[in-house]
Amino acid sequence: MIAAAATALLLTSCVATGRSLPTPDPLSAADAERLIEEHLEFYADEARIADPTVQIPDVARVRLLDPSEPPEAIAQCLREEGFDADVETDGGLSIGHRIEQRAAFALAHYVCNAKYPPDPKYLAPLNESQHEFLYEFLVNELVPCIEKAGFDVGEIPSFQAYLADAGTPREWVPMAKVAAPGWLQYRCEQAPDGLYGELEDDR
pLDDT above 70: residue 90: no
C-alpha distance from residue 86 to each of 43, 62, 188 (Å): 19, 20, 23
SS (H, E, C) 133-166: HHHHHHHHHHHHHHHHCCCCCCCCCCHHHHHHHC
Give the CA distances from residue 85 to residues 46, 78, 92, 106, 108, in Å, rounded to whole numbers and listed in that order: 18, 6, 10, 14, 12
Per-residue pLDDT reduced to its tens digit, 146-174: 999 999 999 999 999 999 999 899 999 99
Predicted pLDDT of residue 201: 65
Which DSSP helix (H) or strand (E) runs through 87? strand 84-87
Contacts of the segment 155-159: beta carbons below 8 A, 24+ positions apart: 159/132, 159/135
Mean pLDDT for 183-190 is: 85
Paired with 84 in beta bridges are 96
pLDDT tens figures, 25-48: 999 999 999 999 999 999 999 999
Provide the pLDDT for residue 183: 82
Question: Amino acid identity, residue 30?
Answer: A
Q: Is the pLDDT of residue 13 over 70?
A: no
Nearest to 184 by CA among 134, 135, 144: 144
Return the pLDDT at 87.
Answer: 84
The model's pLDDT over 92-133, given as tens digits with 9 standing for 90+, comes to: 788 888 888 999 999 999 999 999 999 999 999 999 999 999
Which uninterrupted H or E stretch holds 85? strand 84-87
